[in-house]
A = this chain, B = another copy of it.
């Protein structure tokens, strides 16, 4: 039996889930893995959590660095979140020679490469399975089982909060504000929902996935991220009529022009498996040259799911530690450029409010034609009391730069009142 001593920093819902698993399954881990996993030090600024979680006061502290500095601790679990103290904690833990497990996508998507190099140089592990897709095994399969492949695409639904909102906008016709209020009431969205609804959480996750599959170093600031804040239920409903679902997709693709990486509301065929991923569920699609398409699906949020991934990482680190196994190196060896979003080629859905005058359509289609962008469909909705009409265009594949130019020119037309929506369409 190998005793492995663990320090845990951050006692939010995931931290509570980790404590629960470690205590309920302690004897199973002894029997199955020959591992006696002991929580020997716990830190949180909110000292009320200690009693709430039934922790022995002797192991509790409000000082995170008392955990990283504890000579007994062999594995540090960082669940503070964010890129401030969390970064200092991980740096301190590695400097003190400890293995680290984190669920922190923001940290890994900004400083991950440097932290992984630091860990590797010392023969230490830095594991982060919980940072993408909650409990869905995805980081490990990409780093191990799928390594025989040249991977061309990794994409999916990686933010449960927005997927919950989009599902309810589509299925129950809720507005964005109603969907957000409901998500907040249920605890799926924070009081300040920016990280979720502005696509930053998803951007951090796709940066991590892209770094692994393309053996490169992609950081959060390199990801073009658009959220769902401006999404109208009108467009959700038109999309459904046209046979599409709107999902906040995180996409990373290897192209001749570099890595195409982005997060934005995306119209996808209603029949595609990703369209059926509803509520807080996540799903990640991976395409490799040998394996073809594989998909990983599961709960993307929740204390249990994330804690499952964190404790899975702890067990892996403990196994390696107790076997004196060395760490298999970081594989970020390729330098691949990020393709600017202006070079993106995809299809576009545009909804415009225009004056219902004769010749309007002709003037607008002339703008598309001038940029050699062809249209796959044009749909005019009824005329409103104020004499305006709604026109929806869906283009064939076009360059983003051309679409941006077209929008600029359309906005300058006196008959065009507003560009009400621009949504990218992916055939998948």
Contacts and interface: CB of A to CB of B under 8 A. Distances in A.
Interface of A: 17, 21, 25, 28, 31-34, 129, 134-137, 140-141, 144-150, 215, 273, 276, 288-299, 302, 304-305, 307-312, 314-316, 319-320, 323-326, 328-329, 331, 333-334
Contacts of A129: 145
Max chain B C-beta neighbours (<10 A), residue from A148, A297, A307, A319: A148
Nearest to A33: B331
A144 B135 contact: no
A142 B387 CA distance: 61
B33 A312 contact: no
Contacts of A134: 291
A232 to B, nearest CB: 28
B298 A293 contact: yes
Contacts of A146: 135, 137, 308, 312
A150 B28 contact: yes
B288 A308 contact: yes
A298 B273 CA distance: 12
A319 B215 CA distance: 16
A329 B34 contact: yes
Given A28-B150, A32-B215, A291 B298 contact: yes
Nearest to A282: B294
Given A215-B32, A329-B34, A148 B311 contact: yes
B334 A144 contact: no
A309 B304 CA distance: 29
Contact of A273 (B297, B309, B323): B297
The 5 closest A-B pairs by CB, nearest first: A148-B311, A137-B145, A294-B298, A135-B291, A290-B308
A295 B297 contact: yes
Contact of A312 (B17, B145, B325): B145
A135 B290 contact: yes
B297 A294 contact: yes
Given A292-B304, A319-B328, 16 more contacts: A21-B148, A21-B290, A28-B150, A32-B334, A137-B144, A141-B145, A145-B316, A147-B315, A273-B297, A289-B304, A290-B304, A295-B296, A296-B297, A297-B297, A320-B325, A323-B328
Contacts of A273: 273, 276, 297
Contacts of A215: 31-32
A2 to B, nearest CB: 11
Contacts of A288: 135, 308
9 contacts: A21-B148, A31-B215, A34-B329, A134-B291, A137-B144, A146-B312, A291-B309, A323-B325, A325-B325
B305 A290 contact: yes
Contacts of A148: 21, 25, 307-312, 314-315
A299 B291 contact: yes
B298 A292 contact: yes
A33 B312 CA distance: 24
A143 to B, nearest CB: 10
Contacts of A328: 319, 323
Contacts of A149: 308
A197 B129 CA distance: 38
Given A32-B331, A34-B329, A302 B292 contact: yes
A124 to B, nearest CB: 14
A32 B297 CA distance: 27
Nearest to A316: B144
A322 to B, nearest CB: 9
A305 B291 contact: yes
